[in-house]
Amino acid sequence: MLGIQYRSGCAGDWSLMTMMSLLFWFLLITVCVSNIGGQKVETLNQPAWRNSSERVTNPNLNITEKEIIDEILGEASGYDNRLRPKGLNESDTNPVEVTVNIYLRTISKIDDVNMEYSCQITFREQWQDSRLGYNDSYFTYVNLPDPERIWRPDLFFANEKQGHFHEIVMPNVLLRLYPDGKILYSVRISLVLSCPMKLHYYPLDDQDCVLEMASYGYTTDDIMFIWKSIDPVQRKQNLELPSFTLMDISTSYCTSKTNTGEYSCLRVTLKLKRQFSYYLLQLYIPSYMLVIVSWVSFWLDKEAVPARVSLGVTTLLTMATQASGINSKLPPVSYTKAIDVWIGVSLTFIFGALLEFALVNYAARRDAKEGIKKERERQEQLALDLMEDGCTAQMKPLFNSTDNTPFRKRSWKGYEAHDIHSQPTRSKQKGCYQSFLSRYKDRSKRIDVVSRVLFPTGFALFNVTYWLGYLLPGKKQ
């Protein structure tokens, strides 16, 4: 009995130990699996730059970056963003050099009436602030989340009318801090900028629109803005403008002096050339057609008064309406533009064609009156001759036989008698122009014929002068 009880007790103890062992191993495996899974999830949730050897040199990522930010911007750091950093060679008397470059994304609108243009840029500036340096064994650079916590240059856009930052989906701002204290600040901005235009050659003009950036409060003793040495202004590939062609981009300096001091300034100049195809199709070709149509009246009969008047008035009003539409898209400037010269001369030719018909109508009425008057005089002269010669009785001799001068022509109504055998005077030889006009007896017809040649010739000469004057190289300078 004792042996049986001992064996059963040993078996119970063995079973208990086996269960405890299995439970221990189960818990150990569970803990290991959970740790491995958590590490995988954490690895997947980390940003891509945290796995880059260029971005990070220390595996303790979260703790190190937080410590760096707290170390350089925390309360214990003593950093004051109200004070500008030291200048060149860590001297308080030297100005801070701020390197600037721009990425031109779009130019969406160029307004001739308000003389402004809209653009979207990525603005970047770099400067050195030794107070923000840290140990470079941690990171190659650190992205600071809040730009308001550090000192930044007080740059403003001098010719800005409107502007705003972009905050969809997050604020489009980048603030990158390097171990030596160098800071890269990048922000995306949309701007409406003033662009004073010279419209003397409109629409054959070239315009220079500028973008000026300057310090508002710091003089050149405190801040100096300089352009980046390589690609200071970049532009997006295939950048297209609605009505202009971007010919060139240049950079320069525009440091200005005022009553409060001398301020550093940078300038970007955009060389824009207006696209002419729109104006050729919408203005010049229609005006050509209107002027030529107004000349059709020269080939119409002078008696077709309604047709000639309606043709002249219609073309004149159409041209005036077209001129009004063009001028509504331009500012009311005091000088004469190229488009004003073209519209003015075109209106003059159309109005001249209308006046030509008025002259033709007047000449036709004068010809009719003179014809009636001549016919009346001829009838009166015929009646007078019949009375003097006594046609009812007998004819009087045509020549006076008692006169010693042979073959004297009888004088009628005060005309001087002359000898029939006298030498006839030679008429002057007519020129080509007079011989051509002599084909047409009516003066009204002559006016129409001359106008058919004069108007097209004058308009052709004007075109030669106009296009050579406004398109020759060197004129626009």
Distances from the Cα of 56 to the Cα of 44, 53, 60, 141, angstroms: 17, 5, 9, 8
Confidence label for 475 from pLDDT (cuts 50, 70 and 90): low
Q: Rounded distance, CA 456 to CA 454, Å?
A: 6
Residue 464 has pLDDT above 80, yes or no: yes
95-126 pLDDT, tens digit each: 999 999 999 999 988 999 999 999 999 999 99
What does the pLDDT read at residue 8? 45
**Mean pLDDT calculated for residue range 245-253:** 94
Beta-ladder partners of 258: 261
Q: Which of 14-28, 287-301, 304-318 has the lowest mean pLDDT?
A: 14-28
Q: Which of 44-58, 69-83, 325-339, 382-396 has the lowest mean pLDDT?
A: 44-58
Q: Report whether 104 contacts 182 (CB < 8 A).
A: no
Tell me which of 475 and 358 has the higher pLDDT.
Answer: 358
Residue 289: how many CB atoms within 10 A of its CB? Answer: 12
Tell me which of 233 and 59 has the higher pLDDT.
Answer: 233
Q: What is the mean pLDDT of the chain?
A: 80
What is the value of pTM for the model shown?
Answer: 0.70
Give the β-pairing of 182-194 and 116-128.
antiparallel
Tell me which of 302 and 126 has the higher pLDDT.
Answer: 126
Amino acid letter, residue 72: I
What does the pLDDT read at residue 176? 93
Q: Rounded distance, CA 115 to CA 330, Å?
A: 9
Q: Rounded distance, CA 468 to CA 273, Å?
A: 18
Tell me which of 165 and 376 has the higher pLDDT.
Answer: 165
DSSP state of 283: I
Residue 63 has pLDDT above 90, yes or no: no
Confidence label for 54 from pLDDT (cuts 50, 70 and 90): very low
